[in-house]
Amino acid sequence: MNFRRFRILLLLGVLAGVIGFTWLEQFMVRGWRGPLDIAVIPINGDGSAEATEAIRAMQEQDFLDIGVFLEREVARYGVKHAPAMQVTVLPELKQKPPAPPRDGSVLKTMLWSLKLRGWVYRQSDGWLPQPGRIKLFLLYHAPEDGVALEHSLGLQKGLIGVVHVFADRAQAAQNNIVIAHELLHTLGATDKYEAGGMPRYPQGYAEPELPQSAQRREAEIMAGRLVGANGEPVMPPGLERCVVGPLTAYEIGLDDAFKRRYAAR
Ligand SMILES: [Zn+2]
């Protein structure tokens, strides 16, 4: 075999390995066989003193209400894990992940997602990858009046979330809504809101079987907002007012887990 052929074979081997690994990870997390393994990696998003302080003070307990939310919601679909997730806070990272392309062309987005996966792998200090571990990079920013945070994202391939959050205790409950939303993206959930931020009916509404005009107290997590009394989208105060709707449950594999559970009886 000449060198060129060998190199092609090697590349194909690496590619097959990556595809196989991605499949294995999805099989693991979407099977709901045990608590989700989540690593949280804080990053100072704007170099501010507020972000430095938020990172210094952060601890595993800060994410408790995400665990409570997940445990409560997956139980409604027949998956009973207490706890439903285990969070490990890793040391602060001094580098930021590669930013997504501004124009969302398919090729550019694909290349960027590969770049991001490579970047995440390099951050792991060359340890063997831990299959099934969800990696959430939290970029902290000092709150600024009228300035919105960059768009957060969660990628199913590679189980990676890049989440922009506020370095502000008063925003902790809302930060956790955003983190939970991106976490469910890594498990395969899709967005359920329209371009203007309105939840999409019926799948983006809590209790989708009710008519669209019926008042809701809760938000579907992948819509991120409930519809207020005046018909405007409202961010719920915290995860206690968020639910996983049936379509999201289906997308993140809860239906399969549900069927398996009852088939085994
Ligand atoms: Zn989203």
pTM for the full model?
A: 0.92
Ligand 1 center from residue 191 Cα (angstroms): 5
Please count the structural domains in the chain: 2
Residue 81 within a domain: yes
At 126 the pLDDT is 60
d(CA 164, CA 139): 5
**pLDDT of res. 40:** 96
Asked if 250 and 262 sit in the same domain, the reply is yes
**Beta carbons of 51 and 142 less than 8 angstroms apart:** yes
Question: Could you tell me whether strands 160-166 and 219-220 are parallel, antiparallel, or unpaired per DSSP bridges?
Answer: unpaired
Q: Which of 139, 167, 171 is nearest to 42 (CA)?
A: 139
41 with 92, same domain: the answer is yes
What distance in Å separates the CA atoms of residue 152 and residue 154, rounded to the nearest whole number? 7
Whether residues 138 and 201 share a domain: the answer is no
Ligand 1 midpoint to CA 45 (Å): 20
Q: Do 198 and 179 share a structural domain?
A: no
Please answer whether residues 35 and 86 qualify as being in contact, where contact means their C-beta atoms are separated by less than 8 angstroms.
Answer: yes
Q: What pLDDT is stored for residue 202 in this prediction?
A: 93
User: Are residues 210 and 183 located together in one domain of the fold?
Assistant: no
Q: Distance from the CA of 189 to the center of ligand 1, in angstroms?
A: 8
Residues 96 and 154 in one domain: yes
> What would you report as the CA-atom Rg of the chain, rounded to the nearest whole angstrom?
20
171 plus 204 within the same structural domain = no
Q: What are the tokens at 29?
A: 């997390």
Q: Summarize pLDDT for 221-262 with one digit per residue, the tens.
A: 999 999 888 888 999 999 999 999 999 999 999 987 767 766
What range defines the domain where residue 235 resides? 191-265
CA of 6 to the centre of ligand 1 (A): 41
CA 209 to centroid of ligand 1, rounded, Å: 23
Between strands 160-166 and 153-155, the pairing is antiparallel
Q: Choose the weakest-confidence range: 4-13, 74-83, 118-127, 169-178.
A: 118-127
* Average pLDDT of the chain, as a whole number: 91
User: Is the residue at 25 inside a domain?
Assistant: no
Rounded to the nearest 10 degrees, how much is the dihedral formed by the CA atoms of 205, 208, 211, 215? -50
